[in-house]
Chains A and B, each alone.
Chain A
Amino acid sequence: MTWLGDFFGDPANWSGPGGIPMRLLEHLEFSVLALLLAALVAIPLGLLIGHTGRGGLVVVVSANLSRALPTLGLLVMFVLLLGTASIWPVIIPLVLLSVPPILVNTFEGIRGVDPELRDAAYGMGLRGGQVLGRVLVPVALPLILLGLRLSAIQVVATTTVAAYTGLGGLGRFVIDGFATKDYASVVGGSVLIVLFALVVQLGFTLAQRVTVSPGVSRRLKTR
């Protein structure tokens, strides 16, 4: 507890490039950037594969493989290969690791829509794109959001680990503190990261409430 007091009570920790606000902002920036890039790749691809039904096996296999990839190893490999001149050697593995959860869940979400519903939609005269946009996506939304949430959890955690390879963000407090045996910094940083992750989790829960139709979400409740 005194460590927490030392960390949060130290005015030096609240200003400058190494201060809490700056590190928090960096963490947010890297996480959002990686998640956004991953979503830009994974959601359209997942929609396409789910809608056409082609390439599903590739998605599932690649997702299983990606889960086996050690994040720290990937980060170190990219940094050793590409250097540390920019943040990209770190952002690339972050994106790579967050694509599969979004991709798989989007794909499964679309593919799992009741075929009767798809049939009814076409039967009423919706065109392919309208079926996807007006029926399949709203119905698959809970799973798509689940994919985004799992990815966000992954990104927040990996961004923390990435501090080891020189990236900024809240992970710096932990990594640097550990290296210099500054335990106030380690504990304070850890608490900040945990809070950050919880806020992200809460954000997704709220987003789910707002965006998913009540006609759809009841199915999640009974599951």
Chain B
Amino acid sequence: MITFDAVTKRYPDGTVAVDDLTLEAPTGEITVFVGPSGCGKTTSLRMINRMIDATEGSILLDGRPVREIDPPTLRRGIGYVIQQAGLFPHKNIVDNIATVPRLLGWDRRKARDRAMQLLERVGLEPGMAERYPFQLSGGQQQRVGVARALAADPPVLLMDEPFSAVDPVVRTSLQDELLRLQAELHKTIVFVTHDIDEAIKLGDRVAVLRVGGRLAQLADPETLLAQPADDFVREFLGHDRGIRRLQFVPTDGLPLRSGLTVPEGYDGDRSEPWLLTVTPDGRPVGWVPGDGKGGPEPFGTFRPGLDSMRAALDAALLSPSGCAVAVDDDGRVLGVATRDDLDAALTGAVDGGRPPARPERGHE
């Protein structure tokens, strides 16, 4: 666990980068520091591994003040990932990853074996081992950066806007990869970003910081979206936070109707406006209008219990029928969630949350 106890960073010119910050980053969880530029999020992160020293207050690593630990020793026990990956251009990939193990005195073979293992773990081909950083794409370099930080198996990982320099598609895959790794490794991660979507996707807890280095709110993503502490947080979360909140609403309780699916070549009752044609082994083909003319039209699917209401609603909006197709892990149709059922579930979700402290602004 990382504990910030009344931490302040004041520069000699009087600028206050971090102001009386008190919070905890629990063991095995991802804590995200998010906020606009100038909010002291990176400074806060860098005070943990003493790249910057706090002016007042103290930071504890599992109860021990970091100030008492010699910085290089401290840093070798903490993984550190930065924006441009910061890979050493003169070393090949495997040597880059093996940097900290070698610093810790592992023998060359052991460090190399560990590096090769990590290379695979972050989703890179073993053939990349002998390449140099300039021969890798930005996304690949960032993966190597993560592997390098994990090399000595540190319990704590500090990530300073690690994915902000890559394109959105690659960023998404890197985020997914990080969540997958975290599910296996359970590291204590502090992650800095200016992107609220990234914060909500990755964070177990999100600390929103405001300019001047003060903590505006510390909460899990769902609470953050449902109950922003003040106008600053509300504004920072953006206009569509209502929609984004849906990704925390489960689809377990959503009623599924089975009467709307019909086999291919069906010519029976056509009183429903839309019917879903299904293959003999239960896979969806498409929506056909009730009168049998035209179709099949596109459909959208979600996995009940696994996907959120946001995915279910998205699936419904994708098809002209307005219904979302529920499928199991193999893609076989379980049933259909109609627009009315979705509406009812959404209403329930809103009612489930407490009413906002003051009238909402905008058109949420």
Give A contacts to B, CB under 8 Å: 114, 116-117, 119-127, 130, 135, 138-139, 141, 212-216, 218-219
Q: CB distance B91 to A124 under 8 Å?
A: no
Picked from A135, A214, A218, the residue with its CB within 8 Å of the CB of B88 is A135
Counted as pairs of residues, one from A and one from B, with CB atoms less than 8 Å apart, the total is 77
Is the pair A215, B134 in contact by a Cβ cutoff of 8 Å?
A: yes
Q: Is B92 an interface residue (CB 8 A)?
A: yes
Beta-carbon contact of A123 and B49 below 8 Å: yes
Contact B80 A218 (CB under 8 A): no
Report which of B75, B84, B89 forms a contact with A125, defined as CB distance below 8 A.
B75
Residues B83-119 near A (CB distance < 8 A) = 83-92, 99-100, 103
Contact A218–B91 (Cβ < 8 Å): no
With A119-B86, A215-B89, A219-B89 already in contact, the answer to whether A125 and B51 are too (CB < 8 A) is no
Decide if A125 touches B103 in the complex (CB within 8 Å): yes
Identify the 3 closest CB pairs spanning chains A and B, nearest first: A120-B86, A215-B132, A125-B76
Q: With A116-B86, A119-B82 given, is the CB distance from A124 to B148 under 8 Å?
A: yes
Inside 8 A of A215's CB, which chain B residues have their CB?
A: 88-92, 132-134
When A213-B132, A219-B134 are in contact, do A127 and B89 touch as well, CB less than 8 Å?
A: no
Q: Tell yes or no: B72 within 8 A of A by CB.
A: yes
**In the assembly, what is the distance between CA of A138 and CA of B71, in Å?**
24
In the assembly, what is the distance between CA of A119 and CA of B134, in Å? 19
**What A residues does B91 contact at CB under 8 A?**
213, 215
Bound together, the chains give a CA A125 to CA B51 distance in angstroms of: 10
CB distance from B251 to the nearest CB of A (A): 42
B89 and A120 within 8 A (CB): no
- A122 & B75 in contact (Cβ 8 Å cutoff): yes
Closest to A140 in B: B90
Partner of A139, one of B49, B77, B90: B90
Interface contact B51-A216, CB-CB below 8 Å = no
Residue among A114, A125, A212, A216 with most chain B CB within 10 A: A125
Residues of B within 8 A of A212 (CB): 90
**A117 engages B86 (CB within 8 Å):** yes
Shortest C-beta distance, A142 to chain B (Å), equals 10
Which residues of A lie under 8 Å from residue B55 when comparing CB positions?
none
Check A116/B84 contact, CB under 8 A, given A124-B103, A216-B90.
yes
- Which A residue sits closest to B145, measured CB to CB? A120
- Chain A residues within an 8 Å CB radius of B87: 120
On whether the beta carbons of B72 and A216 are closer than 8 Å, the reply is: no
Contact A117 B75 (CB under 8 A): no
B241 → chain A, closest Cβ, in Å?
33
B73 at interface, CB cutoff 8 A: yes
Give the docked Cα–Cα distance between A138 and B158 (Å): 27
Within 8 A of A (CB), among B195-237: none
In the bound complex, how far is the Cα of B89 from the Cα of A215, in angstroms? 5
Give every chain B residue within 8 A of A216 (Cβ-Cβ). 89-90
Contact check, B88 vs A123: say whether CB atoms are below 8 A apart.
no
Give the shortest distance, in Å, between A118 (CB) and chain B (any CB). Answer: 9
Q: Are A124 and B99 also in contact (CB < 8 A) when A214-B132, A215-B133, A218-B134 are? A: yes
Distance between B95 CB and nearest chain A CB, rounded to angstroms: 10
Given contacts A214-B132, A218-B134, contact A125 B100 (CB under 8 A): yes
Instruction: Give the contacts of B281-318 with A (CB-CB under 8 A).
Output: none
Residues of B within 8 A of A119 (CB): 51, 82, 86
**Docked CA distance A121–B86 (Å):** 8
The verdict on B74 contacting chain A, using a C-beta distance below 8 Å, is yes
